[in-house]
Amino acid sequence: MAVDQHRVLGVRWVEEEAYVDLLVDGKSVLELIPDVADRITPLAKRWLREPVLERAAAFLGQRENASPLGPDQIELAVCPQCGDLGCGGVIARLTVTDTEVVWEDVQWTLDRENEFDELPAPEPLAQAFPARIVFDRKQYEAALSSALEMLATGPWCVPPPSESWNRRLRRLLGFARQ
């Protein structure tokens, strides 16, 4: 059996969007996922503090009420406006052992009832995203500790108004001009 090479998890603060970006071997996880140019990680100061911290704990396998996902799943990319997976997001299965943390089975998730979603159907992203990413647990936990420090610093932000968000809301409520 082949031994998986450990990847390095890194983090960086994205000031203009007020979120913690997750890096795999120095590359944003969002760059590893096709068609998520308008998504962010779920570690953003634009939403309520407690749910975001619960989402961060989920990356360590500590899940209480972090999301409607299963106990072994994490959110890698979410809607930047609401953080809801129903708007189109990316999830992965998380496995935490004594020495390693593994992300695998990465897939899209979205609300198929929403006629305005233009994202790909929920399917495995194995063609573009590595099928399995293995991290050394100590290094992974240190990186997530840095992410928590970034989230703990300064005030929680209010998202800037977004024309696309306003336009989408108007369409959903039936106020859009025909």
Is residue 151, in this structure, part of any structural domain at all? yes
Read off the DSSP letter of residue 115: T
User: Is a pLDDT exceeding 80 seen at residue 170?
Assistant: no
Section 116-127 average pLDDT: 52
177 within some domain: no
**pLDDT category of residue 173 using cuts at 50, 70 and 90:** low
Quote the CA–CA distance of 42 and 21 in Å, as a whole number. Answer: 9
Q: What is the pLDDT of residue 8?
A: 96
Structural domain includes residue 73 = yes
Of 99, 80, 100, the closest CA to residue 168 belongs to: 80
How confident is the model over 48-101, as pLDDT tens digits?
A: 777 888 888 889 888 765 456 777 889 999 888 888 777 778 889 999 999 999
> How many folded domains does the chain comprise?
1
Confirm whether pTM is higher than 0.95: no
Q: Could you tell me which residues are beta bridge partners of residue 23?
A: 10, 28
**What domain range is 27 assigned to?**
6-172
The set of residues, in sequence order, having a beta carbon less than 8 Å from that of 80 and lying 6+ positions away, is 17, 38, 39, 40, 44, 46, 159, 162
Q: What does the pLDDT look like over 12-45, one tens digit per residue?
A: 999 888 899 999 999 999 888 877 778 899 998 8
Tell me which range, 3-7, 21-25, 118-122, 127-131, is most confidently predicted by mean pLDDT.
21-25
Concatenating the DSSP letter of every residue in 76-102 gives EEB-TTT--GGG-EEEEEEEE-SSEEE
Q: Are 53 and 151 in contact (CB under 8 A)?
A: yes
Mean per-residue pLDDT of the chain: 78
Domain membership of residue 178 (yes or no) is no
pLDDT at 139: 97
CA distance 62 to 65: 10
Q: Provide the residue count of the chain.
A: 178
Flag whether 1 is in a domain: no
72 inside domain = yes
Amino acid in position 124: P
